[in-house]
Amino acid sequence: MAKILTPDICVIGGGAAGLSVAAGAAAFGVPVVLVEHGRMGGDCLNYGCVPSKALIAAAKYAEAIRGAAEFGITASEPGVEHERLQARIRSVIAGIAPHDSVERFTRLGVEVIGEKARFIDERTVAAGDRVIRARRFVIATGSSPAVPPIPGLAETPFLTNETLFELKHLPQHLVVIGAGAVGLEMALAHRRLGARVTMVENAAALSQVDPELAAIVLEAIAAERIVLHERTTIRSIGQTDGGIRLLCENGNGAFQIDGSDLLIAAGRAANHASLDLDLAGIRHDAKHIEVGADLRTSNRRVYAIGDAAGGQFTHQASYHARLVLQQILFRLPAREKSDVVPRVIFTDPELAEVGLTERQARGGFAGIEVVRWDYSGNDRARTDELGRGLIKVVVGRRGRILGAGIAGAGAGEMIAIWAFAVANRLTLKHFHNYVAPYPTLAEIGKQVAISYYSPVARNRLLRSAIRVLRYFG
């Protein structure tokens, strides 16, 4: 006989979004049931953010060894011990895993059920031998790698971010389908670890980001001798004696690509197909669950957050969790503001944006100004040989910061202060008034503010006033 549970909140999914809701509610003593049939921590911990950044860190060390001669240090080609590299990635995951574990959440007071969940009506979920009738449900089921319908792909061995880190060898020639964040990050990391890399993208690479910033990243990708085929259609994929073969076509005609390993990085697909959402009256399609600005679905008892609601980032999932908890626990209204969520691609140089891009701002606002500052004007960028970099800040009336974008070293860290500025509707005057330590990359933001206000120094009336004041000693 099924056991009936009646918590205040039932969370479906134990990734970043779901765990944030469960932990937050439990901290206030609210009864919570968490349903997760896979690994706690979800994609970010086990297959995504954590292992990929550990791999990127190793690749940066390899590249630093090659480039040591620039600093007067004897350089050499680094040796890569793939088994030790993979062991380190696993150890990083293992070090974080206890924070996301069943044991920790049980100690917090959360009842964790390791089963698949499905709705059986508008207010009831079944999970194994449990029936859950909660006051509110939160769907946080995440996403999985999308597999494009390319002829021959189903019969060809391929990797995704869920299997890439299980490889026992470094690919000789990695072919990557997709030139988005995951594709570019993994392409660059494997290239620096010693693999040949070829990328295929059916559209323009980085087409969703500021083209001026994208050009800096793509120039760096080309300098790493990564071959990128943009606006290219893959006609078929098959196996060869030595690996895989892609038959492709673009504006230059038909061609083939032979490689040893194939990585699919062509986007994400939401994981809600098995939830029987129709039985709960929840509108959805194959890509996402339909939600309002308050993240509530068409069933007023049910919220959807993170990738399930069309999100893309772990920090966005945590933001969604906070908005939902605000409504469920405190009955306070909350609305998602997508412009406050930073977007980062961890290539080298990194690319980070928050708020409106120049194109978006010019399409919807009057009196827009764009302030630029190049990394070459920063002393720390020069001492550390950080290469090309650019910051662009989109400024509205009275100096209000509408958005910012950075392509360059440390962009992912530097965008944080601009995200704070956008979220709090700050102006460049606030940046003009603070003191940045020297020599740091943080001075780049300070220079943006100085350059924005520098025309004031050429104001004729102000210059006249200064001349008058000089007579008073």
pLDDT for the residue numbered 473: 60
Asked whether residue 45 is domain-assigned, the answer is: no
Report yes or no on 135 lying in a domain: yes
In a shared domain, residues 369 and 307: no
* Predicted pLDDT at 466: 62
- Does residue 115 sit in the same domain as residue 258? no
Question: pLDDT class for 75, splitting at 50, 70, 90?
Answer: confident
Residue 465 confidence class, pLDDT cut points 50, 70, 90? low
If asked whether residues 173 and 215 sit together in one domain, one would say yes
Name the domain boundary from 224, 239, 266: 266
Q: What's the pLDDT tens digit per position in 342-399?
A: 999 999 999 999 999 999 999 988 889 999 999 999 999 999 999 999 999 999 999 9
DSSP strand E in 22-133: where? 32-35, 111-113, 117-121, 124-127, 130-132
* Same domain for 254 and 290: no
Is 60 part of any domain?
Answer: no
For the chain, the domain total comes to 3
For the chain, the average pLDDT equals: 94
pLDDT in tens, 233-248: 999 999 999 899 999 9
Q: Concatenate the DSSP letters of all residues of 193-235 into one string.
A: TT-EEEEE-SS-TTTTS-HHHHHHHHHHHHHTT-EEE-S-EEE
Please tell me the predicted confidence (pLDDT) of residue 88: 96
pLDDT band at 427, cuts 50/70/90?
very high
Q: Evaluate if residue 459 carries a pLDDT over 80.
A: no
Same domain, 261 and 278: no
CB of 125 within 8 A of CB of 10?
Answer: yes
Indicate whether 359 and 404 sit together in one domain: yes
User: Is 48 inside a domain boundary?
Assistant: no
57 occurs within a structural domain: no
Is residue 49 in a domain? Answer: no
- Does residue 457 have a pLDDT over 60? no
**Same domain (yes/no): 251, 236:** yes
DSSP conformation class of 469 = H
Find the CATH number of the domain harbouring 286. 3.50.50.60
pTM over 0.75: yes
Q: Which of 266, 292, 310 is the last residue of a domain?
A: 266
258-272 per-position pLDDT tens digit: 999 999 999 999 999
The whole domain housing 7 covers: 3-40+101-145+269-336
User: Is pLDDT of 462 > 60?
Assistant: no
Q: How many residues does the chain have?
A: 473
Average pLDDT over residues 191-217: 97
Q: What confidence score (pLDDT) does residue 325 get?
A: 98
C-alpha 64/C-alpha 67 separation (Å) is: 5
128 and 205 part of one domain: no
* Element at 54 (helix H, strand E): helix 49-66
pLDDT tops 70 at residue 319: yes
Tokens standing for residue 218: 């793509």
Question: Which strands form 243-250's sheet, in the order they lie side by side?
Answer: 233-240, 243-250, 253-259
Residues 200 and 250 in one domain: yes
Domain boundary among 284, 317, 336: 336
User: At 417, which CATH number?
Assistant: 3.30.390.30
Residues 312 and 281 in one domain: yes
- 183 belongs to a structural domain: yes
For residue 458, pLDDT beyond 70: no
Are 139 and 308 in contact by the 8 Å Cβ rule? The answer is: yes
Q: Express each pLDDT in 119-129 by its tens digit.
A: 999 999 999 99
Per-residue confidence at 463, pLDDT binned at 50, 70, 90? Answer: low
Q: Do 387 and 288 share a structural domain?
A: no
> How large is the average pLDDT for residues 202-207?
96
* 116, pLDDT greater than 80: yes
- Quick check: is 463 in a domain? no
Q: What pLDDT score does 32 carry? A: 98
**Among positive and negative, which fits the CA dihedral 313, 315, 318, 323?**
negative
Query: Does 468 have pLDDT greater than 70?
Result: no
140 with 279, same domain? yes
